[in-house]
Amino acid sequence: MALEWEWNSIWQLFATLVFLRTAYRDFLPPELHHLVSFLLRGLMARFNADIKIVVDEYDGSYTNELYSAAQAYLGSHCLDDAPVVRLSKRHDCPFPTPSLPSYHTTHDSFQGIPLQWSSVVERSSSSSSSSPSRSSSLSSDHRYLELSFPSRHREAVRSHYIPHVLAEADRIRLRARERRLYTNRSVVYGDDHRNPWSPTPFSHPSTFETLAIDPVLRDEIRDDLLRFVSRREYYSRVGRSWKRGYFLYGPPGTGKTSLVAAIANLLEFDVYDLELTAVHSNTVLRRLLVSTNPKSVVVIEDVDCSLDLSDRNKKKKKKKKSKPDSDTEEREMDPSEGGTGRGTSSVNLSGVLNFVDGLWSSCVGERLMIFTTNHPERLDPALLRPGRMDRKIHLSYCCPAAFRMLARNYLEIGEEHELMAEAEALLAEVDITPAEIAEMFMRCDGEGKGADAAMEKVIGEMRRQKAASPPSERGPAAALGPGMENGFLLGCDSCMRGDDDAH
């Protein structure tokens, strides 16, 4: 009896379900169908332990930035132990980059949250019926990444993990890309559609470990640079553009260009070498500025030779004495006041000041502006004030520490060399640049007797200079006025530490 009752109950239940299904399909309106389906999906989602996020390769007709960022992130963090890795290389990357291949899965962990990434491809009917060679070239296949994780971590993944993936992908791309050295084109009227910068690969070998400058100054510069790139939020909070100006000055051959290259290599920035004589107007100069990319160094070498950017007060005194016959002659005598004279460039001091510190200078973030000169006394003080040139760095003649660096780099010898003490003593009495010493070192072989011969040659040259004339005053540090030493403003302990907010 019990068995018969159980079968009768099952048949009754089955008949009830069939009746309810028929009533649901035939008697309930379609609007209620959607409502019931929505409620059932929500109920099932609560019992499901994992949820999934789908990241499509294309967002409409455009590439999904999150898809490419996730692939870059996975290639760097999650594929070290993967059995299959897909490699690709772009023309602007020096190394191939790995990514997650199709139909494969890898795992990640973030703040204790287990995450699973899967690469999925849904073949379209046209590509599945084609030959393998043809189907591989079709773009109709639907490719996407699927991220699975426990549902209780939904907020942490959305608010923290996804931004972490995007930030890490930017860092990976920046490190892997081929850095560029740009120079400005000579732009003419009607040529606005072209990029005003012409790129070439940047591969200068100079680093802070090979710079022949005073070690204390070298460490101060490096600390200041690393402090700058890590303070984006601080610059935004105090209302300043995320940029920094460096002014390098000193005699020729003291390592200004090498320092610029070392800065670019330390920060992994692109370099924009701006030739002011090829810029026709302030408008073109502004366009060059907004065409630069973030994470870049804009360099103007020998700025005193490019344009007349000398002291305006001195020129006004000369005008009063000379009294030109007409406004035209006055403009020809003073191109920095806006006249073009007989030249082809109408860039003036005002345009350069706005380029360095005007409203347009804030359009591109995380940028260094570096000016170099051999004669700082020729420049207008407005160009060198704080806010435009935040660090004034004096690179002077070779000192004993710089000489030891040169000897180690070129000759592979250290302080224990028998001629090192005599060379360092002579450096205190003569003015000789690191470039002169490096040139003499390069003429000799760095092994065996070559090092001894190179040291003797340099010492002989310093003895000759000492006998020829008394030692001159070292460097043009006094040209920028009192309170300058080792390239940093004195009178404020915070300046020496690199505290921007102390000003």
pTM as predicted: 0.65
Q: Is residue 222 part of a domain?
A: yes
Element (H, E) at 453: helix 449-468
- Tell me the pLDDT tens digit for each residue of 309-366: 665 555 555 555 555 444 433 333 344 444 433 345 678 788 888 777 767 666 667 8
CA neighbor of 311 nearest in space, from 359, 356, 376: 376
Angle between helices 256-267 and 215-229 (to 10 degrees): 40
The more confidently predicted of residues 252 and 339 is 252
Q: Is residue 19 part of a domain?
A: no
Domain extent at residue 378: 181-396
Q: How confident is the model at residue 148 (pLDDT cuts 50, 70, 90)?
A: very high
Q: How confident is the model at residue 397 (pLDDT cuts 50, 70, 90)?
A: very high
In a 3-state reduction of DSSP, which class is residue 122?
strand
- State percent of the chain over pLDDT 70: 72
Element (H, E) at 86: strand 86-88
For residue 261, what pLDDT is reported?
95
Name the DSSP class of 370: E
Find the DSSP H helices in 243-325.
256-267, 282-290, 303-306, 312-322
The dihedral built from the CA positions of residue 362, 363, 364 and 369, taken in this order, carries a sign that is negative
Note whether 157 and 256 are same-domain residues: no
Would the pLDDT of 486 be above 50?
no
Nearest-angstrom CA–CA distance, 7 and 3: 6
- Tell me the pLDDT tens digit for each residue of 84-129: 778 877 665 667 778 888 888 888 999 999 999 998 888 765 544 4
**Domains in the chain, number:** 3
Q: What is the average pLDDT value for the chain, to the nearest integer?
A: 77
- Tell me the pLDDT tens digit for each residue of 468-485: 876 554 444 444 544 444
Last residue of a domain, one of 396, 421, 450: 396
Half-sphere exposure of 282 (CA within 13 A, CB side): 17
DSSP 253-273: TSSHHHHHHHHHHHHT-EEEE
Would the pLDDT of 443 be above 50?
yes
Q: Is residue 252 part of a domain?
A: yes
Say which CATH number the domain at 379 has: 3.40.50.300
For residue 76, what pLDDT is reported?
79
Note whether 206 and 93 are same-domain residues: no
Note whether 464 and 320 are same-domain residues: no
The more confidently predicted of residues 199 and 4 is 199
Q: How confident is the model at residue 283 (pLDDT cuts 50, 70, 90)?
A: confident
Q: Is residue 494 part of a domain?
A: no
Q: Is residue 148 part of a domain?
A: yes
Beta bridge partners of 113: 110
Note whether 313 and 268 are same-domain residues: yes
Out of 12-16, 63-67, 203-207, 399-403, pick the least confident.
12-16
